Copies of this chain bind each other. A is one copy, B any other.
Amino acid sequence: MTPRACPPTPPVDPATDPDEELSRLAAALGHPARIRILRFLLERRECFAGAIVDHLPLAQSTVSQHLKVLREAGLIRGEVDGLHICYCADEERVHRIGELLQTLNAVPAGSER
């Protein structure tokens, strides 16, 4: 019904606490197929969804679902380009995972006994 064509990445709800945000991002990485997709997109800086489907031993609909998970986590973005959709990884967002991870082992400097 709604004429929607792959929305430009939801801003990932700024009102969530760091633990929520990290667990969401981590969950999106919690499947080998999605890691492979992300790696594929980061090696080629962009590419068509069809290329991803060819690259994985999964049905087109399954890959599309994995892409959706990554999209909703903000880790990839898709732009419509004629008949194809060009996906590219959001490197900043990938980097954000590392940042959040560091808040984990960061001992509050000087406050350890």
Q: Is A55 an interface residue (CB 8 A)?
A: no
Instruction: List the B side residues contacting A39 at CB < 8 Å.
Output: 19, 104
Taking chain A's interface residues, is the majority helix, strand, or loop, or is none over half, making it mixed? helix
Q: What 6 A-B pairs are tightest by C-beta distance, nearest first? A: A27-B30, A26-B29, A19-B35, A23-B32, A30-B30, A26-B26
A58 at the interface (CB under 8 A from B): no
How many copies of this chain? Answer: 2
Chain A interface residues toward B at CB < 8 A? 19-20, 22-23, 26-32, 34-36, 38-39, 42-43, 45, 91, 94-95, 97-98, 101-102, 104-105, 107-108, 112
| A-B residue pairs in contact (CB < 8 Å), sample of 11 | A19-B32, A19-B36, A22-B29, A23-B30, A23-B31, A23-B34, A26-B27, A27-B27, A35-B104, A39-B104, A101-B101
